[in-house]
Each structure stands twice: as structure tokens, then as C-alpha cells.
Chain A
Amino acid sequence: MKLLSLQEMRLRYTKQPDSFSAYLGKVWDYRYMIVVLATRDLKIKYAQTVLGLVWTIIQPLTGLAIFYFFFHFLVAMPKVPECGYAVFAFSGMTAWYFFSYIVYQGSNSLISGQELSQKVYFPRIILPLSKVVVGAVDLTISLCLLMVLMLVMNVKPGWQILLLPGFVAVNATVGLSVAVWLSALTIRYRDLQHIVPYIVNFGIWLTPVFFPTTIVPDKLNWFLYLNPMTGVVEGYRWCLWGYSEFTWSYAFGLILAFLLLIAGTVFFKRQEHHMMDVI
């Protein structure tokens, strides 16, 4: 058994919370925990299911089939780009589902993970972070499906596809900024658990997932761009199959989300210190 020398590691607990930089250092030290928790989630998710990962494929495809039927077959959506409605809607849905997974699971992660966090120490922000990793697995599968769909529809990606990881990162940041705030607030105010479905279910209609921004009157267009997810969804489309033009209006959402995330982390850390006595 290799033992560390006593000076190597020194922990100190007082009533003072860690400084912000020390906290980030701890999160870095415990980064392996993100993967461990995500692996655990994934294993549990598919334990004793016959179809296993197939469910991750079936779910978005059913969603697509339903929306295709309504917005293309029953009510023809105007101003749909050349790629066809299926590719258009599915690329939006892919981004949105990633966001909604992080918001749903992340905001609930402190409560659902309390069995563990009451007994094992790790920076609690690891919990929502691990949900991002789980969501990313679903996202990857969804993106593969999208590629297949594009191949079938004969839609060719351009060079911009290389920028996709950047937009995925923005997507995760937006989701995480909401999840971090909600999870920290949910500790004291359980009411917020009921707000999450609203954000996810109504939010999709305030984001151009099923409709192009061009059908929205110009006067209201700015309103759409207040929503950081608009930039993300449009960005996905731009880098996947060259939809419309790259605009810096994407950046607005990113900056907003980034500021929210930093403020959220500060708030989260403040709550975390006494979290275990309150939860």
C-alpha cells in the first residue's frame, strides 16, 4: 500500500467556505467523479432493458415522426430551406433535447443524488456536471442519426461542420447555466421543481426548433434572439448544413449564458457550504 507522506495532503474544515479559486481547484481534483457518476447513470439507465441503447435512437425518431406529420404533412411550414423539413427540424431538436436533458436532470441532480452526497464528499457541482456528460452521450447518438438523415436526403455538410464542437459547448453552457441556478435554488425552494417542465415544454416554442426564424415578423425577431437557445439552434444548422448566414447575434446568447453560469456557480458554491444541513 502506497501511503502519501503526511505533508502531501492537508484538508482543513472550518466555518469559512472555500474561496472561489480553491473551490474550482477541488472541482478539478474531483473531475474523475464526473465520469464515474455519468457511467453509473448510463449503466443504471440501460440495466435490464431489452433494447438498451436502441431507446436512445427510438425516442428522437418518434419525436421527429410526430412533428413531421403535423408541421409538414398536415400544416405545411412555410419558408423551409431546401434541405427539407426533416433535416431542418431534427437539427433543431438535437440541440434542444441536449439542452432540456441538462436542465431536467441537472436541476434535479442535487435532490436525486442526495443518497450519495450525504455520505461521500465531492464538490456538489459535480452532480449537474455529470448530467452534461450523460446528455452528451445521447447527443452523440442523435447527431449520428442526423448524419444518416442528411445522407439519405442528400444534404452535404460544409467546412463549418468543424465548428460544431464549439456550438455543442455553447449548448452545454446554456443548459448548465440554467441547471446550476435551478439546482441550487431547489434545495431551499422545492417549488422550482415544478417550474422546470414549464421551461422545457414552453421554451421549445420560443426557440426556432420547428419553425424558421424568417416566419417571425421582423419587429419580434429581436425577442427571439434574447433566448440563448435561438443562437444555439441556428448555429447547429449553420455548421451542419450551411443554413442562413453566421451572425454575431449567436454571440449574445453565449455571453448571456456564460455570465449566468459564472454567477450561478458563485451562487451554487455559497449554497453548497450548508447544503447538506438543509436538503
Chain B
Amino acid sequence: MNDRENIVVRVENLDKCYFKRDGASGKMVPFYALRNVSFEVAKGEVLGIIGKNGSGKSTVLKILSGITPPTEGVVEIFGTPSSILDIGTGIHPEISGRENVYLRGQLLGMKKQEVDEVFEELVAFSGVGDFIDTAVKHYSSGMFLRLAFSIIVHLRSDILLLDEVLAVGDASFRRRCVAKINDIVERGCTVVLVSHDMGTVMEICSRVILLDKGRVLSIGSQKDIVQNRYMSGSDNGDLQEGESDIPKLKEIQSDEYGYKVERFGLFDMDDLEITEFESADEVKILLDYTILENNVNLAMGISDVMDVRLIDDSPVLKLSKNNRMRSGRYKVTWTIPTRLFNAGTYFIGLYAFDNKLRVLKIYNRVVQFTVTDKSVPKYIQEFQRAAFKVDLKMQIQRLAV
């Protein structure tokens, strides 16, 4: 990173100021979309820029691609960049896929011969097949996106600036796209990408910048940042400042749905409430609640930062017949086995359902906890994606020297 020869994008103290009309006075007031943003991108790096809506992610890319000038600061780019700020720009519905491939390729800076060279491969990748000579307006939306994306990944540039363009198509096409991006990067291309899609960011970015209200909140490894972002609780960009999608304990304690939670949280063996523990320690989840109506049940679930459910369990599974628990006060303790979690951030949620297993209420992320792991070096933790430590039976044989 310190090798200055290898820097292909340098951004220094970038400010971008727009003017917006103030509703009350009718005057134009300045509004900073970016404030003092600095970062560098090295050759072959995949840099992800994440942040809530309106954090300035797209503005950074607009400035990097030269579409709009910075208000203050300097951007330097060494190499030939291609900026794809929108998947379908320049693709015209009235003309055929073939003509569009040539036109868009050329709009993005390719020569006609260069398009010739990759044309077959490009069409094969898109899976558009025979439809290549059909007007694009007759394409299904999936075909359109696949064709548009194929053009992008077959571009010949050494810096790709991508704005939210990876979240396209079905799952299998998306996987191929990610593989293709990795392929391009291996060949020495540098990628700067803006994305909402944490999956993509986790998968392909080597470094991540987190923007908030136009400022750089942090720069770091993707795992750190993605987890950091979720720690703030409010991942949903539509939420206003101060709001949070973490439910308040008070809200959970309401008896509106026929139950009342007295206590819910993570505790160590001495019954002290905790939010962080070492993977080797034994801890427990405690749920103390009252069922007011006979047909209400509760369940607990542990999820990762991407809200993927890892574990769920409900007392109803152990106690009752016919999915029914009788009213009364219950105290449930789940013990988390030692050395179960890898280091990372996790959430415990609470779910209420009736005896026909219909969901009454979902509270994701009621409790947040962090697992630390001294047994694994920090630099390995950065690359760990799995939530659980499972000791698989592993055999290693050296077959040749």
C-alpha cells in the first residue's frame, strides 16, 4: 500500500458542494455532498464504497469519472478508467442487441476492432443467444441486464468504476459476474465499486470505505467495515438520524400480542448481562416472559450481520404438544456451547407466533453481541467468513514432494 508507484487513484481532500433551495426562505443554501474525502487505490485492488442513501457514494464516482467537478480537492487517475454509473446507459431499445453492443462498447471507449475481438465471448457470456439480432425492446428484463452487464465486464480498461451495477440478474448470473470481476482483477484491473449489496462487497472487495453524510467514517478491511456498519444498528438508509431498527426493550415488553417479556439478553455464568465474550467461554441466553393468552409462543434466533438466521429455538419445541404452551410465567435458558462462534458480531432476535405457527411479531436484532477469539490470529480473522467453528474430521496426506 505504501508503494506510491502502485497508486492508480488518488483522492485528496475532496469536497462537493451543491446548492439546494431552502423551503422557508427560498434562498439557495449550500449543501455538502462530500466533505474532506481522501483515499488512495492501489493497482489490482477492489475498493468498495458503502454508506447509507445520501452518504455521497455515487457523488464520489461521478467525480472520479469526470462527470462533475469537485468543489475543492484533487482527484488523480493514472490509467484508462471506464465508469459505469448505470447498467443500461446508451442502450437503445429500438436497435438490435448486436448494434447496441458495438455502440455501447464504443461509448465506453472501446474501438470497433476491440469489440470484434470479444464479441463472441461477450454474447456467449450474456446468454442472449439468437436474440442478439433482435431489437432490445423485445428482450426480457433479465436478458437486457445480462447483455448490458456482459458489455461492462468485457471492457478493456485498467480502472473500472462501478455504481450499483453488480446487483443484477438471477443468482447464477450474479455469481458468474462476481467470478468475472475477480478474473479481471487478477489480470491487473483495479475496481472501485459502490454498492448497497453487502454480499457483493463481502465477496469481492479487498478494502472498504464507509461514508456517512459525505465524510469518510472509516477505511478498512471489508469484514471490519461491514460489521461496523451494522453495529451502528441502522443499516436501512431510509431511516432518519436517531431512529434505529433495533427495537426498544419497552416495545418488546408490550402485552399487545398476548405475552410480556420481563428479561431477554445474553448473560455469563455469573448471571451478569454481557455484550461481548471470548469464544472459549460459556455463556447463556436468558428469556423470562409471561404468556397471557394460551395460543402465543415465543422463539429466539441468532443471526449474523447480514441477518442470516444461524440458530433458532423455542421452548414450545421441548414442552408442548400441539404447539401449545399454557399461560403462565416462564424462564428459559439456552447455553451456548464453548468454541461455537468465530469472532464477529451477531444478533439475537425474538419471534412471537401463535399455535398454528403463524407469525405474530418479528423483532430482529434485539440484542447485539460480539465474539472475540484469541485462538485465531487477527489477520486470519479478517478473512474468516464462517460463523461457526466446527471441528471437521480432517486428514492431511502429502502425496508428492
List the interface of chain A (C-beta within 8 A of B).
1-4, 6-15, 17, 32-33, 36, 39-40, 43-44, 47-48, 115-121, 273-274, 276-277
Tell me the nearest residue of chain B to A30, going by C-beta: B109
Give the complex CA separation of A33 and B104 in angstroms.
11
Q: Which of B76, B107, B135, B156 has a CB less than 8 Å from the CB of A120?
A: B107
Q: How far is the CA of A118 from the CA of B158 in the complex (A)?
A: 22
* A44 partner, pick from B43, B94, B106, beta carbons under 8 A: B94
Establish whether residues A14 and B83, one from each chain, have CB atoms under 8 Å apart when the complex forms: no
B85 within 8 A of A: yes
CB pair B78–A9 under 8 Å, yes or no, is yes
Decide yes or no whether B80 CB sits under 8 A from chain A: yes
Q: List 12 A-B contacts (CB under 8 A).
A: A3-B79, A7-B78, A9-B77, A13-B63, A13-B69, A14-B75, A36-B107, A39-B103, A40-B103, A119-B67, A120-B107, A276-B67
Asked if B63 and A32 make an inter-chain contact with CB atoms under 8 angstroms apart, the answer reads no
Which of A8, A9, A274 neighbours the largest number of chain B CB atoms within 10 Å of its CB? A9
Considering only residues 229-286 of chain B, those with a C-beta below 8 Å from chain A are none
Do A3 and B83 touch across chains, with their CB atoms under 8 A apart? no
Contacts of B43 in A (CB 8 A): 6
Partner of A32, one of B65, B106, B187, B189: B106
Q: For the complex, give the distance between the alpha carbons of A15 and B43 in Å.
A: 26
Q: Which residues of B sit under 8 angstroms from A40, Cβ to Cβ?
A: 90, 92, 103
Closest CB in chain B relative to A12 CB, distance in Å: 5
One digit per residue, 1 when the CB lies within 8 angstroms of any chain A CB and 0 when it does not, for chain B 68-84 equals: 11111111111111011
Q: Are B78 and A10 in contact (CB under 8 A)?
A: yes
CA distance A9 to B85 in the complex (A): 21
| A36 in contact with B69 (CB, 8 Å) | no
Q: Hey, what's the 0/1 contact readout for B36-77 against A, CB within 8 Å counting as 1?
A: 000000010000000000000000001111111111111111
Q: Are A119 and B86 in contact (CB under 8 A)?
A: yes
The interface residues of chain B lying within 8 Å CB-to-CB of A115 are 89
Closest Cβ of chain B: how far from A129's Cβ, in Å? 15
Q: Is B337 an interface residue (CB 8 A)?
A: no
Once the chains bind, are B158 and A121 in contact (CB under 8 Å)? Answer: no
The 5 closest A-B pairs by CB, nearest first: A47-B94, A119-B89, A121-B66, A13-B75, A11-B77
Residues of the A chain whose Cβ atoms lie less than 8 Å from the Cβ of B156: 1-2
Which residues from B are CB-within-8-Å of A48?
94, 135
Q: Which of chain A's residues have a CB closer than 8 A to the CB of B95?
A: 43-44, 47
Within 8 A of A (CB), among B10-59: 18, 43
Smallest beta-carbon distance B80→chain A, Å: 6
Chain A residues within an 8 Å CB radius of B293: none
B residues contacting A by CB (< 8 A) are: 5, 8, 18, 43, 62-81, 83-86, 89-90, 92, 94-95, 99, 103, 106-108, 111, 135, 156, 158, 187-189
Contact (Cβ within 8 A) A14 B70: yes
Given contacts A4-B79, A121-B83, contact A277 B18 (CB under 8 A): yes
Known contacts A119-B86, A273-B69, A10 near B77 by CB under 8 Å: yes
> With the chains together, A157 CA to B99 CA distance in Å?
40
Nearest CB of A to B301, in Å: 42
Tell whether, in the assembled complex, residue A12 and residue B187 are in contact, meaning their CB atoms are under 8 Å apart. Answer: no
Residues B67 and A15 in contact, CB atoms below 8 Å apart: no
Give the residue name and chain of the A residue nearest to B92 (CB): A44
Contact between B78 and A6, CB atoms less than 8 A apart: yes
Chain A residue at minimal CB-CB distance from B76: A12
Report how far A279 CA is from B221 CA in the complex, Å.
Answer: 38
Q: Which of A1, A36, A47 contacts B187 (CB 8 A)?
A: A1
What separation, in Å, do the CA atoms of A8 and B188 have in the docked complex? 16
Which B residue's beta carbon lies closest to that of A16?
Answer: B69
Complex: A12 Cα to B9 Cα, angstroms: 10
B69/A15 in contact, CB under 8 A: yes
B79 to A47, Cβ gap below 8 A? no
Besides A1-B188, A121-B67, 16 other CB < 8 A contacts?
A6-B78, A11-B75, A12-B74, A14-B70, A15-B70, A43-B92, A44-B95, A48-B135, A117-B67, A119-B85, A119-B89, A120-B67, A120-B85, A120-B107, A121-B83, A277-B68
Could you tell me if A274 and B89 are in contact, using CB atoms closer than 8 angstroms? no
CB of A4 within 8 A of CB of B85, answer: no
Contact B76 A36 (CB under 8 A): no
The answer to whether A6 touches B5, judged by C-beta atoms less than 8 angstroms apart, is: yes
Does A3 contact B107, Cβ atoms closer than 8 Å? no
Cβ of A273: which chain B residues have Cβ within 8 Å of it?
Answer: 69
Minimum CB distance partner of A6 in chain B: B78
Cβ–Cβ contact A36 & B83, under 8 A: no
Establish whether residues A6 and B67, one from each chain, have CB atoms under 8 Å apart when the complex forms: no
CA distance A119 to B90 in the complex (A): 9
- Write the nearest CB–CB distance from B197 to chain A, whole angstroms: 20
Cα A43 to Cα B92 with chains together (Å): 10
A120-B83 contact given A1-B187, A4-B158, A44-B92, CB 8 Å threshold: yes
A213 to chain B, nearest CB (A): 44
A17 to B94, CA, bound (A): 37
Nearest CB of A to B13, in Å: 11
A-chain residues with CB within 8 Å of residue B103 when the two chains form the complex: 36, 39-40, 43
- Which residues from chain B contact A47 at a C-beta distance below 8 Å? 94-95, 135
**Which residues of chain A are within 8 angstroms of B72 by Cβ–Cβ distance?**
15
B69 near A118 with CB under 8 A, answer: no
Q: Determine if B66 and A14 form an interchain contact, defined as CB atoms under 8 angstroms apart.
A: no
State how many angstroms separate the Cβ of B238 from the closest Cβ of chain A: 24
Give the residues in chain B near A120, CB-CB below 8 Å: 65, 67, 83, 85, 89-90, 107-108
In the complex, which residue of chain A has the Cβ closest to the Cβ of B62?
A: A276
Residues of A within 8 A of B18 (CB): 277
Give the CA-CA distance A4 to B83 in the complex, in Å. 17
Q: CB-CB < 8 A to A116: which residues of B?
A: 89-90, 107
Q: Please report the C-alpha to C-alpha distance between residue A7 and residue B80 in the assembled complex, in whole angstroms.
A: 11
Residues of A within 8 A of B79 (CB): 3-4, 6, 8-9
Neighbouring B residues of A3 by C-beta, 8 Å: 79, 158, 187-189
